[in-house]
Chain A
Amino acid sequence: MNALSIAFRVLRVDRRTRTSAFLTAVGVAVATSLVLLLLGLPYAVDAREERVAWQNKAEQTLVDQRQDAPALIKISTDRFGDQEIGRLDVALTGKGRLDLPPGVTRLPGPGESLVSPALAELIDKQPASSLGERFGKVVGYIGSAGLRHDDQLFALVGQRVEDMGEDALPISDFTTSAYYTDYDLELLAGVGLVVLLVPSLVLVASAARLTATRRERRLAAFRLAGATPQQVMAMVVAELAIPTVVGVVLGAAVNPLVRMWASEVPWDGSEWHPSDLAAPTELVVGAVVCLPLLVIGAAVFGLRRVVITPLGAMQRTPTKPLSWLRVLALPAALAVFVVAAQLGAGNMVVLGALATLIGSATVVGPWVTAAVGRFLVKAWRGPAGLLAGRRLHTDPKAAYRASSGVVLAVFVGAMALTLLPTLESTDFGPPEPTFAPSTLRLNATADQADKVVERIDDRLTRYGQQERAVRLDNAVVNDANGAPYPAYIGDCKEAAPLFGLSPQVCLDQPAVYGVGGTPVSLDAEYDQSTFPLPKGVATADLPRPVVLVDRELVPEGFKATASLVAVATSDTDTDLIRTAMVAGSAGAEVFSDVDMVASGTDRLDELRRITAIGIVIAGLLAGCSAAIATAGAVMDRRRTFGALIAAGTQVPVLARTLRVEAALPAIIATVGAGVTGTIVGVVLVSLIENAPAVVLTPWLLAPVVVGVIVAVLAGSVCGPALRRVRQEPLSDE
């Protein structure tokens, strides 16, 4: 009889081994699917960026001579409400041949557009003046092969060459390849791999532990009967190989479903195609081979004492108390991290220091667990506190191991949740804003600016809006000391609302505003020619950091090269005015300070969402591990509990006690990890130059929620497990 047939026989006859094998397979399947997902993440960005390289300004193949280019393009970002819309304006010059970008079956002519299905749906739901008129007549759709994801809002808009302006890019072809590395996502994938893999493996270990005592006895019996260590080892490997291989196959099989779910989680402003998240084949093969080896290796290591000394396998060896020096690991790791960060060490060094910081939890954790156990053993008031305290105190390493997954996740999560809101409180807009936050602007060449203003005003009139576009030309004012001041040329009374000011701040005579000294001359931006300003020109300050020159003061011969067209908006008319500006400027990018803040906070929202998802998944995995460990603990003590039930202890009382016994360590572990992670987060914030004040938000309660999830899951099995014990309260195992 070989090892594999013995393993199959044990599985066939022993229900508990079957349960353990089932749970091990589930744990391995979860670990496999998560590992495959996380391994695929760094490659996902590549896949996505390659698909949408044609939408990316930086990737285009430009032509030196504008007149030789087959097409001119402009790439911009538009917004509707809080949604971002990608936009590519194209004008065909009629010269040369231009291949179509992926997902596009024809290029739109002037006044036409192709839009993504999601944008088409959005256009249909809105009045044309709010959105649709920005894109002209929709003549087709962009297929998913050319989109970041199926819900992306994107428009390919046709224009006339003469409307494209000087800033249009002359291209020879749409690019279809991109090489892009997202370091944030790589870091997240790395941390995620640790944070999610550890609870997955703890889940597997808990499942394997369910039958460990029985397996140890069986293997010891085999050893006593003359089996060699190699034969015993082969039995262990065979017994674990069956559920592990099943789990790996199952995990690989459900990975597409996991990818489908994960593709809904946005990153860098958009969701994914499920296929983007597929890891390369060689990595999949590597993971599928390595994971079973890891699981089986851990189990063999755990059973090494059976192999060495069969008689000793069932004896209880007292555990040595843990040294208090362990507690120094956390501040030491923190110090290393602080030094690495402050010395401006390379990314890898800082990441290594961060890994050490996270890893220090595994050194400190058991000591803290033992300390909590010692406290409970002294301070218990009821049987639950006594049982929990004794379990933590007797074997703190094992007790910590059961919670290590959630401890790591909550520690990292609390650190992140302390950092993110603090960063969010940072103003992502310009440090000293010139314009009112909601003022919409677009850049135009000075030659086209009047025409753009005229078109926008026409549309604004048509839409029944009172606001009007204002032209501001870029210039440089020089003072008597030769100090240059970037300035705008415009009419003060027209421009004041753009800055969020009342026209009453303007003088009744033409003036230069915002120059500290005496303004003496004016330069066009990008032009070295200097034009003197009238002597004794009136000056005044504005309650905004802006330099403005009244247009009447512009010297003869001065010619601006670049202009800004701006419209003041209120909350209610933003989309209408944006439509008028986009349509009136043939697709120029319209922006405001509000938009800049929004794109800054979008990344933080994504990070926070991913952090919360990571903590909850880790919490669920840890909860399942805790539930399995609790069931195992009840079953290991079934004879004792059977005796207590026989002696009249009520099952609900015992179940309640055991629920608290199981929940208490989980709650203490998560809250402790949360507090420590928050403290470390606060320290990390203080390392940021010009650190903003630390913001502690309700998100920090997430660890408590996770603690409760783990505790509920851990305790949930006590009742059913005890009812099983009660059915045969005094039977032999």
Chain B
Amino acid sequence: MVADQRSMVQEVLAPPAISGRHLVKNYGPHRALAGVDIDVRRGEAVAIVGPSGSGKSTLLHVLAGIVPADAGEVCLAGSRIDELSEARRSELRRSEFGFVFQQGMLVDELTAEENVALPMLLGGTSRAEAMQAARYWLDRLGLAGRHRSMPGELSGGQAQRVAIARALAHRPTVVFADEPTGQLDSRTGAEIMDVLLEICAETNAAILVVTHDQELASRATRSIRIRDGRIESAVLTA
């Protein structure tokens, strides 16, 4: 009991897995982010919702270091990452972050396991190690029989599971998911969301999910609504 409490206290005192302070981003005259503050802790799943053009994806990209902010700061486990060089940020994205996009964005000519292994291979991991990790994650995501399937032979939900396996294979600290169920029917979308949340909970990763779908957002720990580049509301959902 005491140990549990100590653990909770440590978790509260520990810096957030990823945080953004006073984030501003402009695209020409259009202000995509207008001073956003956000913290996401390990094991926490945060859904970002809002209408089209509200700045959801921009916030995700700025936090992930894909797009530089015009002002504000981004920290990973308390250390600023927005001041790092592009090469260093790429390295961080490769080692600390995982990405799931609206479409699986799989390479058509590669099998499911090769698609999962590809980022690791590009990062210098050996063939044996990368393929072993790929098979493990495909099995974890319920694709035990589809290792050698080509993307064209997979359903939309299966392809997205492959994409999730690819994002998780290197055990990231933070997973960024941009409309991961946008191309799927509602039942498959719900299944995918559950798988994503379940795995992240197991691996104690922080997860940020951008979605239009309120139903899916309600499955996250916290839901943040954005409008015109500002946080309109934040709701604890679980």
Contact = CB atoms under 8 A, between A and B. Distances in A.
Interface of A: 316, 318, 380-383, 386-387, 390-391, 394, 637, 639-640, 642-650, 653-654, 657, 729-730
B107 A647 contact: no
B94 A391 contact: no
Contact of A647 (B94, B109, B121): B94
B121 A383 contact: yes
Interface residues of B, number: 33
B73 interface: no
B94 A390 contact: no
B109 A644 contact: no
B69 to A, nearest CB: 16
Contact of A383 (B90, B94, B122, B178): B122
Interface string B39-82: 00000000000000000010001001010000000000000000
Given A383-B118, A640-B105, A643-B99, 5 more contacts: A318-B152, A386-B118, A646-B66, A646-B99, A650-B90
17 contacts: A380-B127, A383-B121, A387-B110, A394-B109, A639-B103, A640-B106, A640-B107, A646-B61, A646-B99, A647-B98, A647-B99, A648-B91, A648-B95, A648-B97, A650-B87, A653-B122, A730-B57
B105 A639 contact: yes
Contacts of B178: 730
Contacts of A650: 87, 90
Nearest to A639: B105
Given A381-B127, A649-B90, A644 B66 contact: no
B110 A390 contact: yes
Given A316-B152, A382-B121, A730-B178, A648 B93 contact: yes
B173 to A, nearest CB: 13
Interface in B107-145: 107-110, 114, 118-119, 121-123, 127
Given A643-B101, A730-B61, A657 B122 contact: yes
Contacts of A382: 121, 127
B94 A649 contact: yes
A390 B113 CA distance: 13
Contacts, number: 77
Contacts of B107: 387, 390, 637, 640
A386 B127 CA distance: 10
A647 B118 contact: no
B199 interface: no
A387 B121 CA distance: 11
Nearest to B123: A649
A318 B121 CA distance: 27
Contacts of A640: 105-107
B92 interface: yes
Nearest to B99: A647
Nearest to A316: B152
A399 B87 CA distance: 34
Nearest to A380: B127
Contacts of A657: 122
A57 to B, nearest CB: 66
A646 B57 CA distance: 13
A394 B87 CA distance: 34
B24 to A, nearest CB: 20
A390 to B, nearest CB: 4
A654 B110 CA distance: 16
Sorted nearest first, the 4 A-B pairs with minimum C-beta distance are A648-B94, A648-B93, A390-B109, A383-B121
B105 to A, nearest CB: 4
Q: Which of A318, A639, A643 has the most CB of B within 10 A?
A: A643
A646 B106 contact: no
